[in-house]
Structure 1
Amino acid sequence: MIKFLFKGIIRDKSRSMLPIIVISLGVSLTIVLSGFLSGAMTDMVDQNAKFDTGHVKIMSRAYAENKDQLPNDLALLGVDSLMTALQVNYPDLQWVKRIRFGGLLDAPDGSGESKGQGPAAGIAINLLDASSGEVERMNITNSIVSGNLPKNAKEALIGDEFASKLNLKIGDEVTYFGTTMNGSMTFQNFIISGTIRFGLAAMDRGAILLDITAAQEMLDMEDGTGEILGFYNNGVYDDKAAIALETAYNEKMKDNPDEYAPEMFTLRAQNNLGDLLDYANNMSAIFVIIFVGAMSVVLWNTGLIGGLRRYQEFGIRLALGESKGKIYRSLVLEATLIGIIGSLVGTSLGLLGVFYLQNYGINIEGMVDNSSMMMPTVMRAKVTPDLYYIGFIPGVFAMVFGNMLSGIGIYKRETATLFKELEV
């Protein structure tokens, strides 16, 4: 029966070509949009994790309440022993220290007079310790526009856009003005070893990167840090595992009344990323529902048109003694075959589109120039295992559902009127 119906589909293109085209377009759009938005959301979450939130983050309770103000006077102390305890108790994560700070960067001219100043958003990481993995994690080597990585604590990286604004070159000396952890003024000179562009407008406008030992000395934060970030060793954020870890860690600390006691936060609990994660997880289902509904309406109408064209065929089959139920079942089976063929074609086309967008992406740099959000300037799709089968859900279901609705007309045929029709 299947072989017979398949031959009919191949030979009678007038009844199969339009549904296959509609299904192919709908399935390919479902896959491309699902893959692109999934990749874009994943990239945004990944960027936030690497540059800000980590998979989990530990801060003092007081620091966490005011973290947008970068309150280093409320930072964690005794971090060497805390880091040791974290590495022993949670070996499936890599733990790193970071200090965020803000201040003023001054660029002197040849005579020592200021030739330009600008607000600096500083990040201190383990630039000189290769075992920390920070250089690779933040893709610093590939993001350097000119110059090189710092070779000692007296050198710094500066945003390429920031350097152009202050008319700085590699080897120039700059002076940082700010406040220490204790509230006193601090002044520190650094040599520009390189300029960098992360592709994140929020950072590139005023970024300065230091080694954490230099920042600790400059800010009077010996054995202190603003944040401790934890990253799973496989590099993939596991929401359930992170929530369980956060709950267990904070449960141990709940009896400690000290406002400077450490507290853990998952990626989900920071920067409103929880809603973004939920949306990304439900995105495929949303697209399937939308396209099943839209394609069902289109294919229902297509089925009605095809049913009218085949009205006489159904009448002859009924007149020859074939039951209405058998005709209806053969119509549904035929729709299933057409849905599978259209879904195969649509999935192939959709995956080609996703692979292209994964490799080349869409440049949105002009749209985020003035944005403070941490998001990549090139949005890429992501090929995930579900894209290989998700298109069959709207493709097959919509075709079958549309033909089931249009096929109801078979049961409205009256056998008594068939002979009159056939006589004409």
Structure 2
Amino acid sequence: MYRFLWKGIIRDRNRSLLPVLVVTIGVFAVVFSSGFIEGTLDNMIRTTADFQTGHLKVMTRAYLNNEEQKPNDLALLESDALQEKLTKDFSGVEWTPRIFFGGLLDIPDRNGETKAQGPVSGTAYDLLSPGSREAERIGLQQSLVSGHGIQRPDEIIISYDFADRYQVHPGDTVTFFGSTMYGSMSFANYTVAGVARFGIAQLDRGAVILDISDARLLLDMDNAASELFGFLPGNLYDSEQAERIKESFNRQHTAETDEYTPVMVQLADQDFMGQMLAYMDVVSLAIVILLVFALAIVLWNAGILSSIRRYNEFGVRLAMGEEKKHIYRTLLVESLFIGIIGSVVGTTLGVALCYYLQDHGIDYSAMMDSVNMMIDPVLHARVTRQLYFIGFIPGVLSMFIGSALAGTAIYRRNTAMLFKELD
């Protein structure tokens, strides 16, 4: 019987094509939406971690209490030894030092006189050490509008909007004025290696990038760092794993009362990210549930309408001597076949598109010029295990229930009225 029903579905397109298309489109929408929501959440976490918080972060207790001010006078000392210890204690976690600083950038004219000055917010990354992944992590190479990345000491990267405003080009010499971690004045000349546009307004308006060795020399921070960033294996944030590492590290320093004692925090502890992640999880779950519920109603109705259209067919089959329960059973089996076919095709298309967007993404940086938030301007999707089965819940179950409800009309079919209806 099953083989016969399968052939009927494949060969009779007038009966099966529309229901299969409805199921396919609905399942595709649910699968793709779910993957896209997960990818959007991942984008937010990844961008925030890469530029602001890391998956884990180590700093002094005093620095943590004044973190918004980025006080380098409270920075970590002997950071290289601490970084080596962290790498040994927590294998698989990548640790990297960063220094945050601010100051004034002086742009000279051809005679060496000051042509313009502008305030800048600087970040020093470990860009020149062998094996460092910092340039890749912040997307420096892809962000360059002109010039090249930092390849040697005394080079600086300037943000696009700042360079455009003050007419700075690769190869120009600029002077940075600031203060050391001890409060004394410091200045140094740098060659502009390149101009970068991150697509993030907060960075593009006035950010500069140095190698950490130059920043340590400029700010008198030998073997020191503002913060040590930690990134979990695969650069994927896992809140439970991060919490275990944080608690293990902090237990080692609970007996110390010095304000320069290192302390670790994880991403969820910073900038209200814990509340934001919890809120986003609830919102994404609610959206997916609404999509599944809406699709279930649509497919339920599609199953009912598809069965009602075959009312006369059921009458003819009854007149030919077929039992009502057999017709009802074949109707349910057909609905299962149609639901499975549509769910498989819709899931395949949805997962395939999610895979594509996971690797390539959609660039919408042109819409982000006026947004002052650390948001990745490339939208990605993420393929998760739930994408492979979430579409089958409404795709198969709702179609089956709709057909089951509509099929009850078979038992109310009056065969004696058949010829009168056909006349």
Normalising by the residue count of structure 1, what TM-score does the alignment of the two structures yield?
Answer: 0.88
Partner of residue 415, structure 2: 418
Partner of residue 403, structure 2: 403
Cα shift at 1:107: 0.8
Whole-angstrom CA distance in 1 between matches of 2:80 and 2:301: 70
Cα shift at 1:42: 1.9
Within 5 Å, give how 1:1-12 maps onto structure 2: 1-12=1-12
**1:381 partner SS:** coil
Whole-angstrom CA distance in 1 between matches of 2:8 and 2:276: 47
Whole-angstrom CA distance in 2 between matches of 1:24 and 1:257: 62
Partner of residue 335, structure 1: 335
Cα separation, partners in 2 of 1:59 and 1:329, compared to 1, 3 Å:
farther
Partner of residue 322, structure 1: 323
Partner of residue 53, structure 1: 53
Partner of residue 95, structure 1: 95
Structure 2 residue identity aligned to 1:22 = V
Cα shift at 1:229: 0.8
1:376-397 deviation line (CA, Å, top 9, x unaligned) = 2222334445434433233212
Whole-angstrom CA distance in 1 between matches of 2:322 and 2:147: 85
Check the 8 A contact 1:300/1:405 in 2, yes or no.
no
Whole-angstrom CA distance in 2 between matches of 1:239 and 1:272: 14
Partner of residue 361, structure 2: 361
Identity of aligned residues (%): 45
Cα shift at 1:247: 1.7
Partner of residue 131, structure 1: 131
Whole-angstrom CA distance in 1 between matches of 2:251 and 2:289: 41
Check the 8 A contact 1:57/1:230 in 2, yes or no.
yes
Partner of residue 104, structure 1: 104
Whole-angstrom CA distance in 1 between matches of 2:284 and 2:114: 55
1:317-369 deviation line (CA, Å, top 9, x unaligned) = 56746254x54433222111101111222233334433554455333213211
Whole-angstrom CA distance in 1 between matches of 2:231 and 2:88: 15
**1:130 partner SS:** coil
Deviates more, 1:184-193 or 1:336-345: 184-193
Structure 1 residue identity aligned to 2:131 = S
Check the 8 A contact 2:54/2:231 in 1, yes or no.
yes
CA RMSD across the alignment: 2.7
Check the 8 A contact 1:288/1:393 in 2, yes or no.
no
Cα shift at 1:5: 1.9
Partner of residue 213, structure 1: 213
Check the 8 A contact 2:308/2:406 in 1, yes or no.
no
Cα shift at 1:423: 5.6
Normalising by the residue count of structure 2, what TM-score does the alignment of the two structures yield?
Answer: 0.89
**1:98 partner SS:** strand
**2:235 partner SS:** coil
Cα shift at 1:126: 1.4
Cα shift at 1:151: 4.2
Structure 2 alignment gaps of length 5 or more: none
Partner of residue 241, structure 1: 241
Whole-angstrom CA distance in 1 between matches of 2:251 and 2:192: 45
Cα separation, partners in 2 of 1:234 and 1:193, compared to 1, 3 Å:
same
Whole-angstrom CA distance in 2 between matches of 1:312 and 1:149: 74
1:36-59 deviation line (CA, Å, top 9, x unaligned) = 332232233222222222221112
1:181-223 deviation line (CA, Å, top 9, x unaligned) = 2333332322212222233322122121112122123223223
Cα separation, partners in 2 of 1:282 and 1:333, compared to 1, 3 Å:
farther
Cα shift at 1:313: 3.9
Cα shift at 1:245: 0.8
**2:106 partner SS:** strand
Whole-angstrom CA distance in 2 between matches of 1:360 and 1:95: 27
